[in-house]
């Protein structure tokens, strides 16, 4: 949702007739610069103008990437006249939009967007020569962006298409059955999100050191989100390191075998004095922080001890960003756990329950596509009910 792709209006794709269906072929469109892009250093970000927003700007954010391109590759930007997230691009191509539309959810993730006024920081951006013509128009999440301009697979021409949603918000919507639920997802990275109390408004001054960010949700409400860059990817790095060490010793072992064996070794190892800070990728609020291992003793060097300490470190790092006590203050009564790393790792689940002693439900399917479908279905039902009530009122008057 933070990433950016560029295209030429009217030339972003070409519709061609395939054997089974009409095919959307990208044309005058750039490669996607993802949220994982690391070209914007701390020094570069510090040189940018301060946004009029409660959200700080980090590397991988759309506006930060455009600023970097403006300074380092201005000729690249001259070739394009439209930009958005990758899903904004798809919506624009499906509907044949002359101007891209972006929900406030995605706009907030780009930076330089004020969620209260629902507008870009145009005055600030124009003042430093930012190409503001690339910024999409803003639409309400859950609203319609347009209708399909061509038949696409089994989707008929003229089908209504919703404005693209933030993947985090759509994922949370797919499994947050009650507003008192918190949603924890541990996959490649980690997200812990909870709905903020009604009427909550974030402070309008960004705090780059704040570990919790407040993202627009639906109906002008917010999600409080601790988003750690270090999750299942840290475990994958550890497994890859072990496999590489064994290869250096002349032994061939599959990574899947190593992963399952280290979990088996850690399950009975209920505690350890070994402490691992697993931030090999830093964090958005602490980009220069590295990982570390402390309290090393000869009795805590088994595979079980190290794996237990690593899983505990991942969860404790998240807890340091969004403590259990804060969830209670927000009115959270249950945690919905999901994600591939959490589902296949019993040790991680144990550590989550240790750090967040609330009723837990594991194995929930967090799916942005499902969440998007539920949002659009709910909006459609609401519109239908509203129309029926209006019709009933008119009938009563006549």
pLDDT 10s digits, 111-156: 999 999 999 999 999 999 999 999 999 999 999 999 999 999 889 9
Q: What is the pLDDT of residue 14?
A: 95
Q: What is the pLDDT of residue 395?
A: 59
User: In percent, how much of the chain has pLDDT > 90?
Assistant: 80
Q: Which of 165, 199, 228 is the last residue of a domain?
A: 165
Are both 88 and 217 inside the same structural domain? no
Are both 55 and 182 inside the same structural domain? no
pTM: 0.83
Cα separation, 360 vs 335, in Å, equals 5
Domain count, the chain: 2
Are both 134 and 212 inside the same structural domain? no
Domain-embedded: residue 392:
no
Are both 62 and 192 inside the same structural domain? no
Are both 227 and 151 inside the same structural domain? no
Domain-embedded: residue 391:
no
Q: Tell me which of 309-313, 365-369, 389-393 is least confident.
A: 389-393
Are both 99 and 21 inside the same structural domain? yes
Are both 254 and 143 inside the same structural domain? no
With bands split at pLDDT 50, 70 and 90, how would you rate the model's confidence at 366?
confident
Q: Which domain holds residue 291?
A: 168-368
Domain-embedded: residue 265:
yes
Q: What is the pLDDT of residue 340?
A: 85
Instruction: Answer for the pair 358, 332: CB distance below 8 angstroms, yes or no.
Output: yes
SS (H, E, C) the chain: CCCEEEECCCCCEEEEECCCCEEEEECCECCCECCCCCCCCHHHHHCCCCCCCCCCCCCCCHHHHHHHHHHHCHHHHHCCCEEECHHHHHHHHHHCCCCCEEEHHHHHHHCCEECCCCEECHHHHHHCCCCHHHCCEEECCCCEEEECCCCECCECCCCEEECCCCHHHHHHHHHCCCCCEEEEEECCCEEEEEECCCCCCCCCCCCCCCCEEEEECCCCCEEEEEEECCCHHHHHHHHHHHHHHHHHCCCCCCHHHHHHHHHHHHCCCCCCCCEEECCCCCECCECCCCCEEECCCHHHCCHHHHHHHHHHHHHHHHHHHCCHHHHHHCCCCEEEEECHHHHCCHHHHHHHHHHCCCCEECCCCCCHHHHHHHHHHHHHHHHHHHHHHHHHHHHHHC
Q: Which of 106, 134, 165 is the last residue of a domain?
A: 165
Q: Which of 165, 199, 227 is the last residue of a domain?
A: 165
How much is the average pLDDT of 227-248? 96
């Amino acid at each position: 949702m933070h990433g950016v792709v560029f295209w030429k209006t009217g030339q972003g794709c070409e519709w061609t007739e395939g054997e089974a269906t009409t095919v959307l072929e990208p044309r005058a469109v750039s490669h996607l610069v993802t949220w994982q892009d690391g070209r914007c250093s701390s020094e570069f970000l510090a040189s940018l103008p301060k946004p009029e927003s409660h959200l700080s700007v980090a590397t991988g954010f759309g506006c930060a990437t455009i600023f970097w391109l403006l300074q380092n590759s201005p000729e690249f930007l001259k070739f394009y006249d439209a930009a958005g997230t990758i899903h904004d691009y798809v919506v624009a191509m499906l509907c044949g939009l002359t101007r891209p539309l972006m929900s406030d959810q995605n706009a907030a993730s780009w930076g330089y967007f004020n969620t209260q006024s629902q507008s870009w920081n145009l005055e600030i951006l124009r003042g430093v020569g930012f190409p503001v013509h690339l910024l999409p128009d803003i639409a309400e999440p859950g609203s319609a962006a347009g209708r399909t301009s061509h038949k696409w697979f089994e989707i008929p021409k003229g089908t209504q298409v919703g404005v693209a949603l933030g993947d985090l918000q759509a994922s949370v919507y797919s499994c947050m059955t009650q507003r008192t639920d918190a949603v924890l997802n541990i996959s490649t990275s980690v997200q812990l999100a909870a709905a903020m109390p009604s009427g909550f408004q974030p402070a309008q001054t960004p705090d780059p050191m704040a570990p919790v960010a407040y993202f627009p949700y639906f109906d002008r409400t917010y999600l409080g989100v601790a988003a750690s860059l270090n999750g299942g990817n840290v475990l994958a790095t550890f497994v890859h390191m072990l496999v590489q060490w064994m290869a250096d010793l002349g032994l061939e072992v599959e990574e899947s075998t190593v992963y399952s064996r280290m979990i088996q070794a850690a399950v009975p190892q209920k505690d350890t004095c070994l402490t691992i800070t697993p931030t090999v990728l830093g964090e958005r609020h602490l980009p220069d922080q590295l990982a570390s291992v402390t309290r090393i003793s000869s009795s805590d060097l088994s595979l079980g001890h190290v794996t237990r300490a690593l899983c505990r470190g991942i969860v404790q790092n998240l807890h340091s960003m969004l403590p259990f006590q804060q969830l209670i203050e927000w009115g959270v009564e249950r945690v919905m756990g999901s994600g591939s790393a959490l589902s296949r790792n019993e040790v991680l689940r144990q550590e989550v329950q240790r750090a967040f002693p609330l009723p837990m439900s594991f194995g929930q399917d967090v799916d942005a596509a499902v969440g998007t479908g539920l949002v659009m279905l709910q909006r459609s039902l609401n519109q239908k009910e509203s129309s029926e009530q209006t019709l009933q009122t008119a009938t009563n008057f006549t």
